[in-house]
Amino acid sequence: MPSTLIVNARLVNEGREYDGDLRIDGERIAEIGAGLSARAGETVLDARGRRLLPGMIDDQVHFREPGMEYKADMATESAAAVAGGLTTFMDMPNTSPPTLDAAALEDKYRRAAGRAWGNFGFYLGASNDNLAAIQSLDPRTAPGVKVFMGASTGNMLVDDPVTLDAIFRDVPTPIITHCEDTPMIDAELARYKAQYGDDIPARFHPDIRSREACKKSTELAISLARKHNTRLHVLHISTADELALFQPGPIEGKRITAETCIHFLRFDRDDYETLGHLIKCNPAIKDPADREALIRAVASDVIDVLATDHAPHTLEEKARPYTSAPSGLPLVQFALNAALELVHEGRLSTAQVVDKFAHAPAKLFDVEHRGFLREGYFADLVLIDDAPYTVAREDVLSKCGWSPFEGRTFRSRIASTWVNGQLAWDGVSLVGAPNGQRLAFAR
């Protein structure tokens, strides 16, 4: 069994930063301590005081397979994720066909096996007519059930109130929601189309997909969760207005939790002028005051989870007029770099980033033996080098071939990533072969 000893690391785990060594035996973390001695034949890596983190767990990605492989697939996007220190991903159901039953769910797991560079889980989607599939879902086969309470992509909007109530009543896993009120959005879109036609300036996207639409839908989801005592996780909170709907404190014991995404912490309305449709996403990136409030909410434990909502599209698609330019942006490869900028700026600690981007999703979704630096856990690890790194298009591994961070210089870079004990990224290129495993959920 191959063994690697990482020495002189600055370990960041469970609220602490401390100097130590870590031994990998096979797929697992075998030993954590100080002054560990190398064994015969063991590979030794001197971390030289650099930070060693558990691999990040991204609870919200759109890897586009099946049906949209021309812009992304499980191999390319998981490679980009591993290069960015994200060792586990949970993929959304709005593919083609959508993931609405157990057969479609298992098809995704088969597609990922042997091709995914990171560990993988797949959500079951909800629709107006698949309640039976939700009720019969084995909770060990999916992290949760995704409910689009506002139409975003595809035909998965759940807008029948009786069905929605039944889903919240009967779901055997956490419910994961996209919350935007579709009638409010449709009314604003019609108003702007009357003035601009299809070529609406991108700067109006946060007015069309408004803060009021977000808050109204989030309030509905929370009211249903309270009615049925549902385990609810609201995705991609984008406004200061919604934050008052959530309670601060540690994730343990919470029945209702909130996630925000990296782009809401690094971009705001002012960036539409230069980036246009490249940062068009649903829900929309909003005002500078929202960005500041969201950062504070992460620091104060109102926001429980950080994620990417990685949703790639081609540059040709993004160049279309507003009404036909799709929403979403590729983020997995540089999301951790972007999050660590908040550490350099003194807004968060590294331990807080690790808590929100690794520990919390592992707890929320009952992920077995991942998300922490613990003996016996899978050796999903990330070594961080505090050296400047400027994002260049030629470095982008996502199939879409671009990043909203192009030209930006980060003060940290991903030096190494291990997945299940194997080095998968050496700071320059991918290493070996895809080594991701199907997630196990302790339910």
Tens digit of each residue's pLDDT, the chain (443 residues): 789 999 999 999 999 999 999 999 999 999 999 999 999 999 999 999 999 999 999 999 999 999 999 999 999 999 999 999 999 999 999 999 999 999 999 999 999 999 999 999 999 999 999 999 999 999 999 999 999 986 544 567 888 899 999 999 999 999 999 999 999 999 999 999 999 999 999 999 999 999 999 999 999 999 999 999 999 999 999 999 999 999 999 999 899 999 999 999 999 999 999 999 999 999 999 999 999 999 999 999 999 999 999 999 999 999 999 999 999 999 999 999 999 999 999 999 999 999 999 999 999 999 999 999 999 999 999 999 999 999 999 999 999 999 999 999 999 999 999 999 999 999 999 999 999 999 999 99
CA distances from 119 to 24, 113, 368 (A): 18, 9, 12
Amino acid 156: pLDDT: 76
Instruction: Please tell me the total count of domains within the chain.
Output: 1
- Enclosing domain of residue 125: 56-364
Please report whether residue 429 resides in a domain.
no
Please report whether residue 179 resides in a domain.
yes
Q: What is the CATH number of the domain that holds 185?
A: 3.20.20.140
Amino acid 150: pLDDT: 63
Please report whether residue 40 resides in a domain.
no
CA distances from 392 to 266, 405, 408, 443 (A): 18, 8, 8, 42
Please report whether residue 376 resides in a domain.
no
Amino acid 145: pLDDT: 99
As a whole number of angstroms, the distance between CA 70 and CA 109 comes to: 20
- What's the first-to-final CA gap in the chain, in angstroms? 30
Hey, which residues are catalytic here? Answer: 309
As a whole number of angstroms, the distance between CA 305 and CA 360 comes to: 6
Please report whether residue 439 resides in a domain.
no
As a whole number of angstroms, the distance between CA 83 and CA 346 comes to: 25
- 332 contacts 84 by C-beta, under 8 angstroms: yes
Amino acid 358: pLDDT: 99
Please report whether residue 146 resides in a domain.
yes
As a whole number of angstroms, the distance between CA 333 and CA 59 comes to: 15
- Strands (DSSP E) contained in 179-279 are 232-234, 256-261
DSSP element (H, E) containing 398: none
DSSP element (H, E) containing 62: none
**Tokens (6 digits) for 152:** 């975003």
Q: Among candidates 311, 78, 309, which has minimal Cα distance to 178? A: 309
- 269 contacts 287 by C-beta, under 8 angstroms: yes
As a whole number of angstroms, the distance between CA 243 and CA 186 comes to: 24
**Tokens (6 digits) for 440:** 């196990």
Please report whether residue 20 resides in a domain.
no
DSSP element (H, E) containing 2: none
DSSP element (H, E) containing 429: none
As a whole number of angstroms, the distance between CA 61 and CA 175 comes to: 16
